Structure formats: structure tokens, C-alpha cells
Structure 1
Amino acid sequence: MKFDFNLWDIHIGTPHPFNDRAPVIDNGTARPTGARYHDKAFAAAEWEKVFARSWLVACPVSDVREPGDFAKFDIGPESFIIVHGDDGQIHAHYNVCPHRGSQLILSDTGCIGQFTCPFHSWQFSLEGENLAVTDPETFRPEVLCHDHNMTSVRCEVAAGLVFISMDPHIEPLKQWLAPILPHLELYDIDKMHVVQHRKSDWGANWKGGVDAFAEIYHLHAVHPQTQCLMDDRTQIDLYPGGLSRQFVPFAQPSRRFEDQESVNPGIAMMLQDAGIDPASYNGTAHETRAAVQQAKRKRSEQFGLGYEKFSDTQLSDSTVYGLFPNAQIGCHPEAVFLHRFIPHATDPNQFTYDTCILYRHIDAPGYCAPAWMGLGDDIDMTGATRPEIVHTGLGEPPGLGEVLDQDSDLLPIVQAGARSRGFRGPLWSEQEARLRHFHVELDKRMKQGNDA
């Protein structure tokens, strides 16, 4: 019997090039062992063979728009400084003074004229060149003949995001991103700014976080409250290099939800978001998605929002991209959310969940970020101020909202089971095709690391 890969596909609306399916990639049916989720040797090899040799999303361009703007990016045992140089280019350096190894920057973001080491006051340009050594006459000339500039890493920009790589020989960023780059560029992320940024430490492996956010198979069990306004039939597209895409349909109930007719509070919220008065709406819940799409097109035509470049799907749904190894971007015309799953420096049973929402401010009646993102009235949506990062530690209530807090409660339970000798490894359905695609790419890169 041949499996019907389209069994769970939703009808995504009027045909549009954006919605075209990617060529099929068959990643097989192998079952990897569960050791990848907890084994320290695997985690150590993973750092050297995957993270040290991949493109990593470091920060949005909005954090480093002007000369002197910097953002600190911490991942695993490393810390990096992303900075807009006086030369007009964006640079990335290890957050390390070449003298004695002190970190140079402690703030998450800011603006600075030069780097000064807090230990002995050595000074460096934004481009990483040494400007001054304190008391240079006390050093033998042969010592200062050694390179005493900051150590830089590859840094490239695409689709409004800054990427870094510790591998000097890695393929160009846009070459790797090529299958999805035109998609991401449609959203003008470079014109967006961060309106919320939170980090929380979770008691699970970082891959457990990637897995949970790369499928919507679990919604009915973990987030049943979403079933009234989110459909879990979905199109999944896989691309070379560990890249993937999934449509998350909003504004209509899941087929698992009993009432497909009534306009429930969740559906009403999405109607109101699109400028439709729920009280005067005469359609059913199942028809809401199309009504939202039409209303947003009307608003765009009226106020020049430029939505003609988007498919119907993009106007109502969340289009989520997976960027190997540890980032996911959920795209909407008004705002995007960026998720990063940051491995712990030493413990494979912990990771930091880093999430931020970027918003493009346009002064037009009714224009706003999707209400389900939960952005309160106290948040500055204009981009005039960059919000501070709110970081909650392991065991603290993360306060990320009902759905994400449910994930943070569940993942330590999944991690505990993954450590059991009774767990023989994951068995993925085609609803979890993005997970298998991710892990096949992971294994491929781990093997390449062995061959190098």
C-alpha cells in the first residue's frame, strides 16, 4: 500500500507561486537511537561538527542598523559581538580580549564607539583592530609581534537577519538559503524591529525544542485550546540543507474540533483583527479563513499595504520556516516571530529558548500584529525603543503565554523519557516530516565531521 502523503493537507486557497510544493525529498524510515537527546559525547561532537560548521542566526538587522550598534549573541560555550562598523559593514567577533581572554561586552544590545576591555583597558575598533595597549613599553616587542586584534568570524546578512559562522570555509549564506530566500525576502524583515524578546531556560535537549516546534501533530493533546481556531491539516515542504517550511492554518477550526459552524471567541478575535465585526459576520467558522484573507486584501488596497505580493495563505496563516540547525521563523505580513533553541554549554539536558517578535510599524487604521501573538498595550510598537531581554532561569515560570508555557512544562517530561533505556528512538509520522528531515541533516553533518 502506498502512503498518501497529502492525507493531512489543507486546501491552501487560490493557486499562487508562493504555495508551490517543493520537490519531494524522501528521508526514509530509519529509527535513530534516543542517545542523541542526552549523551554528553554526542553533544560535544555535535558542537564541533554541526554548530561550529553551520550558519547561525545571530540577531535581526534592526539591532545593528547604525555605526556603533551592537548585539551580543551567546550560544553554547561561545559569545559573539555583532557590530555595525564605522566602515558601514556589519562584523562579528568573538567576545574575547586577545590579552587575557576577558569578555569585552556584557550588555545584550547597545551603541558604542570602540571596545575597551574591562580588565586592563586594551582598546579595539569596531572592526576588531587593536587601537591601544595599556603600558606597551612593559611588553617585550616579540610579544606584541603576535596578532593582538580581536578574532573575527564569518558574518553575512540575508532577509533582514544577521548570520554568523565559525567555519571560515563555509558556503556563502545566500547559496545555502537559496531555496527559501525569495520567500523570506517578501516579508521585509529588514524593515521590522524587535518589540518583544524573551529567553527562558528549559530542562530538555535543544533538539527536543526543535522537534516540538517543527510539527503541529501535538496541538490536540498539548494545546487543545487552539483547536477552535487552528487547523492541523498542513502542507509541509522540505528543501536541501536541512531547510523546511510548514503552513499553520489559522482562522478555522481543526477537523478534530466538534463545532465547525459557530463563531467561537478565537475565531471572533481573528475576524476583528482583519477588520470584520464578529457581531455582523454571517458566515460559519469554517468560512472565516477566506473572509479574513479577503478583508486583509481590501485593507491593503485601501491603505497601500502592498499585500498583492502575498498569496491568500500568507494573509491568514503562519508560514513557518526551519533553518538548520536551531532556528525557526514564523512569517506574517505584519510581524514575524523568531525562535532559537540554544544548546547549553555543558549539559545536554538543558537549553535556552530564545524568542523574539519583530514588527513592521505602519500607520494605517486597523493595521497591527496578529492578536494571538499576545502583545500588550504597554509595548512600544513604533520601534523607538529596543525592549530589554527578559530572561527566566530553569524552574522559574517562563511567563511566555499559555501555549508556550505548556510546552515548557511538557518538554522536561519528554526529556526524562528520552533518557530511559526503554526508549528505543523516535518513530516519526509524515505529519512530523520536518523532524525526520532535520535529524537526517544532523546525521549527515555529523558523518561529514567524522570524514573531515
Structure 2
Amino acid sequence: MKLDFDTWNIHVGTPHPFNDRAPTIDNGTDRSDPRRYYDADFMREEWEKVFCKSWLLAGAASDIPEPGDFFKFDIGPESFIVVRGDDGQVRAHYNVCPHRGSQLVTADFGSLDRFTCPFHSWKFDLEGKNIAVTDEETFRPEVLCHGHDLSSVRCEVAVGLVFISMDPEIGPLKEWLAPILPQLELYDIDKMYVVQHRRSDWGANWKGGVDAFAEIYHLHAVHPQTQCLMDDRTQIDLWPGGLSRQFVPFAQPASRYPDQETVNPGIQSMLADAGIDPETYTGTATEARAAVQKAKRKRSEQLGLGYERFSDSQLSDSVVYSLFPNVQIGCHPEAVFLHRFLPHESDPDQFTYDTCILYRHVDAPGYSAPAWMGLGEETDLSGETRPEIVHTGLGEPPGLGEVLDQDSDLLPIVQKGARSRGFKGPLWSEQEGRLRHFHAELDRRMNAGKGA
């Protein structure tokens, strides 16, 4: 029997084109082979067929505003330099000298007028062209004719985000993003900048991270403290190429939560965020979400924020997009968070969780990023300074906040269970439709070229 989503999905708000459901994609009911979570051979093949053939989110264009500004992007066994050239164009090169293979940069960020190899001082301009070979006369011309410029990769920018691809034949970035690009453009991410950036190493496969963050079915069990202020049954949309989105309603209790009346401290905080005094609010917890939406529209009219382009649900909820293979973007009118699940270079039982928050400063009373994002008073919201990346190693307390720390504690347990002979592969519900969609795209890529 086919499940009617409307029998249990929470309506996302007043009808609005943004909320229109995507055409149905049926990804079947098969179980996926659990080897994908732990098998080293699968991991090596996955690197070649998935990561080397996909668009990968490297970082925010706001991190390299001026010519010569660069940042380093590491993923799996590779490292890349993303740099803004003298012509204003953003380019990406493998972070390796063609002479003896030394990495050129080790800093996460910087600004240079050229790249100089620390081993033998070979020099390269921002476009990757070699401009100096130390003692060039000692090289036979036939040696240097093999090529001594940097190796570059495809690099394109969309909505203020820089993507790279190791596949020279890959289609245009915006062509792949086309189903969701107009939606992302509404949030003016290109006008935002990073105000918090954290990394932590987790004891699980990167796909375990994708799985955990692409569904909210687990909230009642793993994060019960969220049930009083956010719902866990809501709209899911799927598009070709492994793209998906989900609305996560805030400022109302989950439908399974027993108390739908009491305005608890979490909802009080969200009311205050929207400019509503919790002490004078007379509605119920269930009515708070609509009150937040109305208050934000009023604030927009007063401050000229342009929120008329957003649906009601965009004003109160988190609209979370999945970009295959390893990215989630959580969108809010005031701020956006990026999650990246970076595979380990050789160990299928480890990955690096990379998360950052982008914010656009508006000098107006009451305007701020959602309080639940956890930006402390010490956070510089002006955009004048780029925060350092705080990186915690495997086994160290990640300090990401209560909810994310709970995830980091749980995923190694899930990873260990995935290796059990008793686990035959996941059994996904319709609430986990984004997971099935992700793994269907993964299987399509992995099976490409294998025939029927």
C-alpha cells in the first residue's frame, strides 16, 4: 500500500510557490548493501566513482574577497587551493608542486601574490602557471616539457558558494543545481559571510553522518529535548541527481509531544527572537509558530528586509537541502548553516564533520541569527574578521552543542552495528525518504559502467 504523505506530514504553511511539492520520485524498497559503511574496497571505488566525479562544496566565496586571497580545501586524500585571481575569477588547483609533490600551502586561509613551494622555491602565479624554476638551467628541456604548471580543476560559483570538481567532463554546476537554485537564491547567501566554523573527527563512515542529518525521525529518541519546540513530521522533496530538501518546523511542539499548550522556554526564546515578548504572549505552544511568522513579516515591513519573497514556513522553519554527495545547507532568512561530511583518506570508520554558519549583518534593532544556532556573545557578527577553524580530534569532546554532541556519541555505535553479520541493510521509512534517495544516487554512480 502506498503511503499518503498528507496523512502524517505537517502542512508547511499558507500556500506559496516555494512550498510546492516536487514531482514524486519512487526509489523503490530494496535494502542497500551494508558493506558501503565499512568495506575498504567499497571506499576506494567510491572515491573514484563518486567524489572524483561530483561537484564538491569547497567553501564560501566570501572567504576570498580580494585578489590573492585563498583557502585550502581538504577532502579524502586530496588537498586543493581555492584562490581569487587578479582578474577577480575564482580558480582551484591541486595543492601540490609538480616538481617533487610537496604541498604548497598548509594554512587554512591566506593571501599571496604567488605560490612558492617550500621545498625548492618553485613559484606559480595565481592562475597556476609556473613563473620560476630554481636553477632552471640544470634541467634538461625535455624534463620540463612534461609540464611544470600546477594542475587545476573545474571551479564554479553559485549563490556565493565555491564548488570544485576533479572531473574535467562534468556538466555545469548551475545545470545540476537547477531544480533548487532559484530557491537558494532567495536567501542572498552571496551577501553572507562565515561567523563560526568548526570541525570534528567522528568514529563513523561519512555516509552515517549524511544519514543522521538527512532525517528527523530520530529526534524523539536521540534528542528528546527538541520535541517541545520543533516538529519531526514534515514535507520532503526529491529531485534528480541526489538533490533533496526537508522543512523542519520550529516554534511548535512535535505532534507526538504530549503538551501542546504550555509555552516552554525553548519556544519562548524563539518568540523573543521574532520580537515577541514571551511575558505578554497569550497563545498556546501550537500557535507560536504562526505568531513568529507574523512577527517577522511585521519586522520586515518596518526595517525593509524584503521578507515578502519568503513563504510563511521560511520565516519560522529550517529549510534543509541535501546536495549529493556530502553537503547539507540549512536556510533561514537571517543565516545559513553548511554541513559537510568529509571522508577520511583511508579509514572507512572515520570522517570529519565540518560545519559553519554564514550570516549577513543588518544594523537594525532585534535582527540576529536564530538563537538556537548557538552563536555566543563573543561571536563577531560584523564580518570584519574571519573566525579561526576550531578542530577537535577523534575521541575529544567536540563541544558542538548538546544536540550535535549527542550525534557524535551515537554514530560510532551505529557504525559498529553496521559491521554485524546480523545487519542485512537499512529498512527505510517514508520519513527517511531523503536517505533512500541519497543511496539510490550512490548506487547509480557506483554501478555506472558495470552493465545490466
Q: Could you tell me which amino acid in structure 1 is paired with residue 439 of structure 2?
A: H
Alignment deviations for residues 24-73 of structure 1 (CA, whole Å, 9 cap, x no partner): 00000001121110000000000000000000000011111211111100
Say whether residues 1:105 and 2:112 are aligned partners.
no
Q: Could you tell me which amino acid in structure 1 is paired with residue 395 of structure 2?
A: G
Query: Shift in Å at residue 336 of structure 1?
Result: 0.3
Q: Which residue of the partner structure matches residue 4 of structure 1?
A: 4
Query: Shift in Å at residue 5 of structure 1?
Result: 2.5
TM-score (norm 2): 0.99
The CA distance in 2 between the partners of 1:312 and 1:74, in whole Å, is 38
Gaps in structure 1 of 5+ consecutive residues: none
Q: Could you tell me which amino acid in structure 2 is paired with residue 174 of structure 1?
A: K
Say whether residues 1:151 and 2:151 are aligned partners.
yes
Q: Which residue of the partner structure matches residue 305 of structure 1?
A: 305
Q: Which residue of the partner structure matches residue 386 of structure 1?
A: 386
Task: Say if 1:49 and 1:449, in contact at 8 Å, map to a contact too.
Answer: no
Query: Shift in Å at residue 8 of structure 1?
Result: 2.6
Q: Which residue of the partner structure matches residue 88 of structure 1?
A: 88
Q: Which residue of the partner structure matches residue 174 of structure 2?
A: 174
Q: Could you tell me which amino acid in structure 2 is paired with residue 220 of structure 1?
A: H
Q: Which residue of the partner structure matches residue 50 of structure 2?
A: 50
Query: Shift in Å at residue 146 of structure 1?
Result: 2.0
Query: Shift in Å at residue 449 of structure 1?
Result: 5.0
The CA distance in 2 between the partners of 1:315 and 1:342, in whole Å, is 30
1:15-414, aligned counterparts within 5 Å?
15-414=15-414
Does the residue aligned with 2:431 lie in a helix, a strand or coil? helix
The CA distance in 2 between the partners of 1:412 and 1:60, in whole Å, is 30
Does the residue aligned with 2:244 lie in a helix, a strand or coil? strand
Query: Shift in Å at residue 425 of structure 1?
Result: 0.4
Q: Could you tell me which amino acid in structure 1 is paired with residue 323 of structure 2?
A: L
The CA distance in 1 between the partners of 2:2 and 2:389, in whole Å, is 49
The CA distance in 2 between the partners of 1:314 and 1:348, in whole Å, is 37
Query: Shift in Å at residue 167 of structure 1?
Result: 0.3
Does the residue aligned with 1:279 lie in a helix, a strand or coil? coil
Does the residue aligned with 1:194 lie in a helix, a strand or coil? strand
The CA distance in 1 between the partners of 2:294 and 2:280, in whole Å, is 16
Q: Could you tell me which amino acid in structure 2 is paired with residue 140 of structure 1?
A: R
Does the residue aligned with 1:281 lie in a helix, a strand or coil? coil
The CA distance in 2 between the partners of 1:390 and 1:450, in whole Å, is 42
Q: Could you tell me which amino acid in structure 2 is paired with residue 365 of structure 1?
A: P
Q: Percent identity, aligned pairs only? A: 79
> When the two structures are aligned, how many residues end up with a matched partner?
452
Q: Could you tell me which amino acid in structure 1 is paired with residue 130 of structure 2?
A: N
Does the residue aligned with 2:286 lie in a helix, a strand or coil? helix
Alignment deviations for residues 68-91 of structure 1 (CA, whole Å, 9 cap, x no partner): 111100000000010001121100
Q: Could you tell me which amino acid in structure 1 is paired with residue 201 of structure 2?
A: D
Query: Shift in Å at residue 16 of structure 1?
Result: 0.5
Query: Shift in Å at residue 446 of structure 1?
Result: 0.6
The CA distance in 2 between the partners of 1:338 and 1:207, in whole Å, is 16
Gaps in structure 2 of 5+ consecutive residues: none
Query: Shift in Å at residue 154 of structure 1?
Result: 0.3
The CA distance in 2 between the partners of 1:144 and 1:44, in whole Å, is 32
Of residues 214-223 and 58-67 in structure 1, the stretch that sits farther from structure 2 once superposed is: 58-67
Q: Could you tell me which amino acid in structure 2 is paired with residue 312 of structure 1?
A: D
Query: Shift in Å at residue 450 of structure 1?
Result: 3.9
Task: Say if 1:237 and 1:244, in contact at 8 Å, map to a contact too.
Answer: yes
The CA distance in 2 between the partners of 1:277 and 1:241, in whole Å, is 44
Task: Say if 1:69 and 1:110, in contact at 8 Å, map to a contact too.
Answer: yes
Query: Shift in Å at residue 226 of structure 1?
Result: 0.3
Q: Could you tell me which amino acid in structure 1 is paired with residue 65 of structure 2?
A: R
The CA distance in 2 between the partners of 1:6 and 1:391, in whole Å, is 42
The CA distance in 2 between the partners of 1:333 and 1:450, in whole Å, is 44
Of residues 428-437 and 140-149 in structure 1, the stretch that sits farther from structure 2 once superposed is: 140-149
The CA distance in 2 between the partners of 1:294 and 1:135, in whole Å, is 69
Name segments (4+ residues, structure 1) moved above 6 Å: none
Query: Shift in Å at residue 121 of structure 1?
Result: 0.6
